Amino acid sequence: MKFKVGEKVKILWGKTLYCSDGYADKGEIVEVMERPFYKYIVRGFSEKCPRYTLIFGEDELVLLEEEKQTMKKSDLKQGALVQMRNGNVCMLIGEKFVNLTDGEYMPLERYDDDLYFKTDEYDVVKVFDSSFEHEGYYYYIRNVDEIEIILEKLLGYKVKIIKEETNE
């Protein structure tokens, strides 16, 4: 059993069969049923009907303690690398998270202060510490020419990425 009665959870609406319109993404486990699937009864996600409950599977919920964010939107610095829940790695450029794989971007203004997005797949789940994780830059930036083009379009001026050669 992954969750217990009384625990606060984030509801991953994108993984459920329910429509999330008008519901919050956080709730509380009020009952755990003895069955293999869809065994967690959750309430607290409806402001209009706080006692209203729905049943969820284990993969549709995340314990809020595990989701706890220490980084806030206001703490981010230009050039910060972040990982989204869907696995994409993006860089903060201006007021946009730019995907380093395809150049698509998500405006920072669409995020809550705690870096949650209205659809779970774009929640920020990790902020890389660039002073310690330089390998992350090189791992995700595979084609420097494409990244330069993306950065030039976003910033409006020429960019040249210089890769330092190492003996490793």
Domains and CATH numbers, the chain: 8-67 (2.30.30.40), 73-155 (no CATH)
**What pLDDT is attached to residue 40?**
93
- Say what percent of the chain tops pLDDT 70: 77
pLDDT digits (tens, 9 = 90+) for 60-80: 998 876 555 467 888 888 888
As a whole number of Å, the CA-based R_g of the chain is 20
| pTM, two decimal places | 0.46
138 and 162 in contact (C-beta within 8 Å)?
A: no
Q: Average pLDDT for residues 111-131, to the nearest whole number?
A: 78
**What pLDDT is attached to residue 139?**
35
pLDDT digits (tens, 9 = 90+) for 124-168: 888 875 544 344 443 334 456 666 776 676 667 777 766 655 554
C-alpha 49/C-alpha 88 separation (Å) is 36
Q: Average pLDDT for residues 18-36, to the nearest whole number?
A: 87
Look-up of token digits 């607290």? 44
Identify the residue with better confidence: 97 or 123: 97
Residue 82 DSSP code: E
- pLDDT-based confidence at residue 22 (cuts at 50, 70, 90): confident
C-alpha 80/C-alpha 31 separation (Å) is 40
Residue 131 DSSP code: T
C-alpha 142/C-alpha 53 separation (Å) is 46
1 contact partners, CB below 8 Å, separation of at least 6 = 32
**What pLDDT is attached to residue 157?**
76
C-alpha 89/C-alpha 133 separation (Å) is 13
- pLDDT-based confidence at residue 33 (cuts at 50, 70, 90): very high
**What pLDDT is attached to residue 56?**
93
Which among 84, 116, 102 has a CA at the least distance from the CA of 146? Answer: 102
Which among 103, 104, 126, 129 has a CA at the least distance from the CA of 115? Answer: 126
